Amino acid sequence: MKEGKVYLVGAGPGDPGLITVKAAECLRRADVVVYDHLADEQLLELASPGAERIYAGKTATEHAREQDEINQLLVTRAKEGKTVVRLKGGDPFVLGRGGEEAEALAKNGIPFEIVPGISSAIAVPAYAGIPVTHRGVASSFAVITGHEDPGKESSSINWHKLATGVDTLVFLMGMQNLPKIRAQLVEHGRPADTPVAVIKEGTKPEQRTITGTLGNIVAKVKEAGLSAPAIIVVGEVVKLRDKIRWFDNRPLFGKRVLVTRARHQASVLSRLLAERGAEPIELPSIEIRPVDDTSELDRAVLNLGSYHWLLFTSVNGVDAFFNRLGKLGLDARAFCGINIGAIGSATAEALETRGIRADYVPEVFTSDGIIAGLKSYDVKGKRFLLPRADIADKELVQGLTGLGAEVREIASYRTVPAKDTASRVKELLQAGQIDVITFTSSSTVSRLMAALGKPKPDLGGTVITCIGPKTAQTAAGYGLKVDILAKEHTIPGLVTAIEEYFSKQK
């Protein structure tokens, strides 16, 4: 049996993008992941599907497992020869009880490593636009627990020296004790007009920041209804937030956007949304699958020389076509002498990555745009090959035929409903947790509506966004009111349209 090992891993402050490279590598190798309440669950997706996942979180009112039980769990799984990742919010050794877990492992002779994480003590203030130090303002900072061990006979915090001896004070887990913290600092010499910030859900799309002074912060937090978990920052650096606030003033901050396109394609849209402050929720309404029978597609690939034009209408079509090209032992040389068309810039880029530059890309990235542009070409009598989705409409075929072209349309991939989407979308819609639904093709509309079933769900104030007129037409056919139609029918164009919409709302 192989020797087990435990990695005490810092998950970072909440934003899953702040996990370290080494931490991600540990998760990918893990047989067992024991994770905390404050560790973002998206990080669990880095572990293999077969890895055991064990929740060991603690909140102020509930402990899934006591600390002694967690320590023993790590020892037991390691003795079974497992690679164990103990995923802890922030950094394992910054008020995270990682030291106690390391002691237990050492006592039992279990090999272990410490993988530091970005502590919320510095990351959360940074995301609120508050540097813990700043030349001329603060040359020192301290990190203090706001919730000491209740078993202690007396506090180990030296309030007399702490209150005035350090420029910036950062309290973790201190929301319940905010009135006491405030009282201790003022009693021991910190002026009542000292700036204070209380930051909830730091580094996440739900982040909220309340600022005030030691004199009024308790009342302001109560008025705002702020609750744990939150971080308290005390010091003159809080004033800098007005100048360098950057995270929670982005154009789409706090908006929850449903991404319905196929999961393998969702990353670009999700990234662009996140960069603008939105929270992308990836619940694809479709999955892209190969066709069951590739014989017709293979014959077309092997006889490319008999066509004058090869026209791609999606990135998926490019992927499917080149997959069969490779399976048949061919490469880009097979395109010699053929005109290549792409419906839009994304499809053209997909071709370029494979060494093919499109001869034709319409100015308007739609079927109508393709037809309008081809009117200036001599296509009468020319043979066109269209490798497309199995559910593609006939508009493009009819338009090309109307220009006198001969068209052969072949299903190169299938679009099928994604599993387990409907129930989760219904749940989020009913809870009012989706602000925007994005549709990037007609199939994403039809598949999602079919999955949701009848009666049509109440979308309330949810904003409906479509990438182009064809998609919008499909949405309207289902009785959906389209609020946003992208001017440029691309993913960046879609995100820009959403941004412009909400900027006008403000």
- Residues with catalytic roles: 36, 58, 173
> By the 8 A CB rule, do 412 and 321 touch?
yes
Nearest CA among 246, 210, 207, 245 for reference residue 225? 210
Question: Does residue 350 sit in helix, strand or coil?
Answer: helix
d(CA 467, CA 494): 6
d(CA 40, CA 364): 41
d(CA 135, CA 436): 42
Q: Quick one: how far is CA 2 from the chain centroid?
A: 36
3-class SS letters over 107-166: HCCCCEEEECCCCHHHHHHHHCCCCCCECCCECCEEEEECCCCCCCCCCCCCHHHHHHHC
Report how far apart, in Å, the C-alpha atoms of 269 and of each of 261, 280, 467, 483 are: 9, 8, 11, 18
- Residue 252: both structure tokens together: 């789409």
Which ranges of 256-310 would DSSP assign to H, the alpha helix? 266-275, 295-302
Question: Per-residue DSSP letters for 255-267?
Answer: -EEEE-S-GGGHH
Helix (DSSP H) and strand (DSSP E) numbers for the chain: 18, 20
Q: Which amino acid is at 186?
A: V
- Cis bond before residue 131 (omega within 30° of 0): no
> By the 8 A CB rule, do 297 and 409 touch?
no
Question: Does residue 158 sit in helix, strand or coil?
Answer: coil
Nearest CA among 230, 274, 17 for reference residue 128? 230
> By the 8 A CB rule, do 365 and 343 touch?
yes
Strand 339-342 to 83-88 pairing: unpaired
> By the 8 A CB rule, do 91 and 115 touch?
no
> By the 8 A CB rule, do 248 and 267 touch?
no
Measured on CA atoms in the order 42, 43, 46, 51, is the torsion positive or negative?
Answer: negative
Q: Quick one: how far is CA 55 from the chain centroid?
A: 22
> By the 8 A CB rule, do 414 and 388 touch?
no
